[in-house]
Chains A and B, each alone.
Chain A
């Protein structure tokens, strides 16, 4: 007897006992098909595991179904499971949902693969299974009596997957997090992220660290710390100030770079100096850039040997770029030996570019030779685009001292170009016992020139007061002394050149008594002076003082190969006491009044401006 409702209830409840009684009573119940749902498909739909376990084979063997009504709740449940696959069973002519199709709809791929061989299969069933899985983006493959279905993730796998991904991403972010934190707190020691320095202790430890790049985060006082030895790191001050002491330099040798730092000597210095030294760096083999130094006080040289002193660098073998020194210095030397003082470098073997001594700076000294930028510019040295604003005074009562003063460099053996002196340069020798052999040498740019000075300008005043010294003063150079190599090219000079002396000899051409020479460009010229101009005014209270519009004294040798001062294409504005370009010409040690040597003489500045060699400083 057919009993669809009881069978369906047993299936829904997976009641094997009732199911067993019904099908035992009449086996035809195994062939029941509720509309589109065969009994086995319903067992799958309602997950009737017990019934499936014992009756799957028998139910699967049913070849002809006994169709009865399809309850709505079966369809509703199936519809929820089938989703997009529902269309396969709504419009198709063969609407039976076979057991393997039901397994496919339910996504029980594992069981479908396992039992596939046991099911009755048709081409239609295979197509439907393929479409059901296609709807879920899964490609199934049929081989002989097998079906191969890619496995979807299990519930556990689906839950664990985002956890694993999250943990992995968190792990992956750790290095980024560490670097970001180190970068923000300490810096990484790289060029783009320099190690941050905020204390004197950290700054003094730089030489012990492996990093190459450092940056200051605030002003630092290291005035109580000892000298740093070799520094190969790169320090960016970021505009902060470092306070130094005056007892030693901050760094013995710089091989890296220092930039954007303001150095300040903390207190007014009162140094007793017995050895060569600077106040910031003794030897620079690296790069110093955008550094300023403020220094003020008194320096007393107590050495009995020649002593070299510089404010910023003692010996420069590297580069000093865009630096400023604000100096207010009183310096006292020793008469037993020479003392040389400069603001930027004592000896320059490298490059000094764009360096400026601050306006209102001054250096007052007695027996100390002074230049604002460098003392000695060697044959490899280049000084370019530097400006001196400092007023320099050298006043000595010592009778044997030879004062030497220059706006840029004392000895130039290299190249000086595009430099300007705006400071006033003064040398006073007040001793009445000064012997004839003493000399005063002053040049607006260089005291002595043995190589090349080009495109330089002097606008400072030059003042000399002496009793008995020989004087060589020039707007650009004091003495340009090498015939074959000394060149002054394309330079200009203005300002006032004053020489006052108590010498009372008669005007004569005897070299033993003529000792005061002033030139608009050069005091005593043996080398070449060309393409230069001067509109200096000359003042002297002594008729023994000879002023030339271009040079005070020229040079000419008659014996052997004739050589003569090269004086080409120069021009000057004529003055009451400087009417010719070369005041005195030296012919094989015999002096004679000079003449205009290839120089254009003009009466006014306006006329000079019209000449092609004229140019103005910007």
Chain B
């Protein structure tokens, strides 16, 4: 059964992800003219990679947290 704590962790994950990705989208829009001509700056590529890594880490951390919590509940 989903509990408030698990729900809260998902909400926090979503908020952090939203903040990071909306910031990324803002940068993406500011670069759109360069990107559509194929002139892709390396800093933008690096930012994209960093965002992907942070997103992946957040998702993995939250996923592991939820799984462990559910598992802990079952054992208890």
Contact = CB atoms under 8 A, between A and B. Distances in A.
Q: Are A and B subunits of one complex? A: yes
Interface of A: 136-139, 150-153, 157-158, 161, 164-165, 167-169, 171-176, 178-179, 182, 185-190, 195-196, 202, 209-212
B2 A174 contact: no
Interface majority SS (helix, strand, loop, mixed), chain B: helix
A187 B40 CA distance: 8
B40 A188 contact: yes
Given A175-B52, A195-B38, A210-B42, A136 B13 contact: no
A150 B40 contact: no
B59 A169 contact: yes
A137 B18 contact: no
B67 to A, nearest CB: 14
A202 B37 CA distance: 9
A176 B40 CA distance: 15
Contact of B42 (A138, A153, A189, A196): A189
Contact of B7 (A161, A174, A189, A209): A161
A186 B14 CA distance: 31
B10 to A, nearest CB: 6
A171 B39 contact: no
A165 B3 CA distance: 16
A202 B38 contact: yes
Contact of A182 (B21, B35, B55): B35
A175 B55 contact: yes
Given A175-B55, A178-B28, A167 B14 contact: yes
Contacts of A152: 1-3
Contacts of B42: 189-190, 210-212
Contacts of B22: 171
Interface string B13-51: 110011001101100100000010011111001001101
A179 B13 contact: no
B64 interface: no
Interface of B: 1-5, 7, 10-11, 13-14, 17-18, 21-22, 24-25, 28, 35, 38-42, 45, 48-49, 51-52, 55-56, 58-59, 70, 73-74, 76
A209 B45 CA distance: 14
Nearest to A164: B14
Contacts of A164: 10-11, 14
Given A152-B2, A188-B40, A172 B21 contact: yes
B24 A175 contact: yes
Given A153-B3, A179-B49, A168 B24 contact: no
Contact of A179 (B5, B21, B52): B52
Contact of A139 (B41, B58, B76): B76
27 contacts: A136-B1, A137-B76, A139-B73, A150-B5, A152-B3, A153-B3, A164-B14, A165-B14, A167-B14, A168-B14, A171-B17, A171-B21, A171-B22, A172-B58, A172-B59, A173-B55, A175-B24, A175-B55, A178-B28, A179-B48, A179-B52, A189-B40, A195-B40, A196-B38, A210-B39, A211-B41, A212-B42
10 A-B pairs closest in CB distance: A172-B55, A186-B38, A171-B21, A168-B14, A175-B51, A137-B73, A153-B2, A168-B17, A175-B48, A179-B48
Given A150-B4, A168-B14, 20 more contacts: A136-B1, A153-B3, A153-B7, A157-B2, A164-B14, A165-B10, A167-B14, A167-B18, A168-B13, A172-B58, A174-B24, A174-B28, A182-B35, A182-B40, A186-B40, A187-B40, A189-B45, A190-B45, A210-B39, A210-B41
A66 to B, nearest CB: 37
Contacts of B49: 179
B68 to A, nearest CB: 14
B25 A174 contact: yes
A19 to B, nearest CB: 34
B70 to A, nearest CB: 8
Contacts of A176: 52
Contact of A161 (B2, B58, B73): B2
Nearest to A133: B1
Given A171-B18, A172-B59, A211-B40, A151 B51 contact: no
A137 B24 contact: no
Contacts of B11: 164
Contacts of B5: 150
Contacts of B24: 174-175
Contacts of A158: 2
Contacts of B21: 171-172, 174-175
B1 A137 contact: yes
Contacts of A210: 39, 41-42
Which one of A136, A137, A168 has the greatest number of beta carbons of chain B within 10 Å? A168
A165 B1 CA distance: 17
B73 A211 contact: no
